[in-house]
Amino acid sequence: MQTEKFNATPEMISEWKKKNKVVKQITLTGVEEFEGESFTAIVRIPTLDDISSANVIGGKDAIKSASIIAKKIWLGGDEVILTNTPLFMGYMAKCQELVTVCEGEIKNL
């Protein structure tokens, strides 16, 4: 099943980088119904506000919280990712990898 493909122009990428500093591309594959096609999502890094609102709205429902973050950070891509369950589940999983924390150290004084 062939789908219309998203193609980010250099101008689009430049504009996204101006607004968000860091812009990432997520590529998804392996959905049987699409016979080896790959799909692209362009995202920004989640902010603390994104994570906080997802936790408030999603509550204890981890899938709902992840879905909220995934939709908030979406900049562009193959729209089928947002409507196809296997693609969206893979997309949400990759979005969770964007939430990182720094290393720290605690010392007794």
**More confident position, 7 or 75:** 75
Query: Could you give the number of structural domains in the chain?
Result: 1
Rounded to the nearest 5°, which phi and psi values hold at 60? Answer: -85, 0
pLDDT for residue 79 is more than 70 = yes
Residues 10, 16, 21, CA angle at the centre, nearest 5°?
A: 115
Q: Residue 24 belongs to a domain with what CATH number?
A: 3.30.2220
Does residue 101 sit within a domain? no
In a domain, 1, yes or no: no
List the domain range (segments joined by +) for residue 82.
10-96
- Selection from 69, 63, 65 nearest residue 46 by Cα: 69
Q: Is residue 91 part of a domain?
A: yes
pTM of the model: 0.85
Q: Which pLDDT belongs to residue 33? A: 86
pLDDT digits (tens, 9 = 90+) for 16-72: 999 999 999 999 998 888 888 999 999 999 999 998 988 888 888 888 988 999 999
* Whole-number pLDDT of residue 2: 56
Q: Is residue 106 part of a domain?
A: no
Decide which of 109 and 56 is more confident.
109
